[in-house]
Amino acid sequence: MREVSRRGILGLGMGAAASLAVAGCSSGSGSPKPAKKTAQAKPIGDGSTSHGEQRPADPKPERLAPGQKPPQFVVFSWDGAGEVGNGLFPRFRRLAKDHGATMTFFLSGIYCLPESKKSLYRPPNNAVGASDIGYLTDEHIKETLRNVREAWLEGHEIGTHFNGHFCSGSGSVENWTSAQWKSEIDQAMSFVTEWRTNTRFTDVDPLPFDYHKELIGGRTPCLKGQTNLLPTARELGWRYDASSPGGLQVWPSKKQGVWDFPLQQIPFPGHTFEVLSMDYNILANQSQNSTNAPPANYPGWRKQATEAYIAGFKRAYETNRAPFFIGNHFEQWNGGIYMDAVEEALKHMADEKRKDVRLVSFKQFTDWMDAQDPAVLADLRGLGVGQAWSASGH
């Protein structure tokens, strides 16, 4: 049996490896040039959101024929998707544009809510206004809204990372009921769709989508609480959930009628165990959860993180073609080495010599999965980690 990383928050063993994702879910300024409006925006509600603006069309899913080799899908996703002036949100929007990639941004709802209005947030099993991640300044809320707006116009997906990011104690999301998850989602929805009422900002354009239609999936804080979330997700019409920890690099299936897209165990260079495909989990194994370790370690750790992502990609690409899911935060932990690793890995995967690689959002991958013949998917799911695909076998 494959051995999973044992250090820090990952010491839970096979299939349970990950109480992760601390509060570092934010980013920066220096945005790429905003997308040009192609139609008059028509406001929804208080004008926080709108419809009518155009963006690139999602690719039309192609149905595999029996025995046809699937493309290699890679999904880069970002937890929190806030903007605090360090340039990371626009940096990765620009990177995606340069390489024809689309991504999923899991927006934390309270990043659209001023701290002065935090009494509007009533988190389950926690005090009114409580949050284990910080509220943003007004200027950073504006920058978050601007980047989310432009990201959507560039073809990216906006999902949810919910709100207060509670991962421990009696108020942990792990203990929430399905009804409490419904409350949390309703509040995240209201903060995103009513930010104009709550902030009174007049110098920020509306988000150019109907969030009730856009939102089809999310990732829970610390990858906890999925079991009770799923009934609510299904009732809301969500199509996928990306909250499972410790998944393997195999073709996914559904849980309770919702596609289950877990973070995955990938090779960790220099070790016999594997690490979860998220920046914080690599950090936990390198610096024992410290986000500000001695800089002398950074070059080696940066290289190791980059090689871990590439090894995970290579294993899937050269064998069963299982989709590769990577989770990140807009953060500068340990000198920003994990952001550099993600960038270098994406450039490697986007190499133009690989015509069969698709860097897509979770929504786009869900569209593709829904378009496939169930029998073909069943064959793909029969392939184990690192098991070679063959036309005659699967």
Residues 250, 234: contact at Cβ < 8 Å?
A: no
Residue 55 lies in a domain: no
Residue 36 lies in a domain: no
CB atoms within 10 A of CB 338: 27
* pLDDT the model gives residue 34: 52
Residue 261 lies in a domain: yes
* pLDDT the model gives residue 32: 53
pLDDT at 391 over 90: no
Residue 51 lies in a domain: no
* pLDDT the model gives residue 33: 53
The predicted model gives 132-157 an average pLDDT of 98
Q: State which H helix or E strand residue 241 sits in.
A: strand 240-241
Residue 42 lies in a domain: no
Residues 345, 306: contact at Cβ < 8 Å?
A: yes
pLDDT at 272 over 60: yes
Domain with 256 in it: what CATH number?
Answer: 3.20.20.370
pLDDT at 300 over 90: yes
pLDDT at 5 over 70: no
Residue 317 lies in a domain: yes
User: How many domains would you assign to the chain?
Assistant: 1
Whole-number percent of the chain with pLDDT over 90: 86
Please write the tens of the pLDDT for every residue from 111-123. Answer: 999 999 999 999 9
DSSP state of 13: -
Residue 111 lies in a domain: yes
pLDDT at 142 over 50: yes
Q: Concatenated DSSP letters for 253-308?
A: -EETTEEE---BEEE-TT-SSEEESBHHHHHHHHHTT-SS--GGGHHHHHHHHHHH
The predicted model gives 326-348 an average pLDDT of 97
Give residue 392's pLDDT band: very low, low, confident or very high (50, 70, 90).
low
Q: Which residues pair with 267 in a beta bridge?
A: 274
Residue 258 lies in a domain: yes
Q: Which residues pair with 4 in a beta bridge?
A: 274
Please write the tens of the pLDDT for every residue from 43-67. Answer: 999 999 999 999 999 999 999 999 9
pLDDT at 74 over 90: yes
β-pair type (240-241, 254-255): unpaired
Please write the tens of the pLDDT for every residue from 173-208. Answer: 999 999 999 999 999 999 999 999 999 999 999 999
Q: How far are the Cα atoms of 66, 67, 68, 229, 379 from residue 373, in angstroms, in the given order?
A: 9, 12, 12, 28, 10
**What distance in Å separates the CA atoms of residue 25 and residue 150, rounded to the nearest whole number?**
18
Determine the structural domain holding residue 347 and report its residue range: 8-30+69-381
Please write the tens of the pLDDT for every residue from 310-325. Answer: 999 999 999 999 999 9
CB atoms within 10 A of CB 37: 13
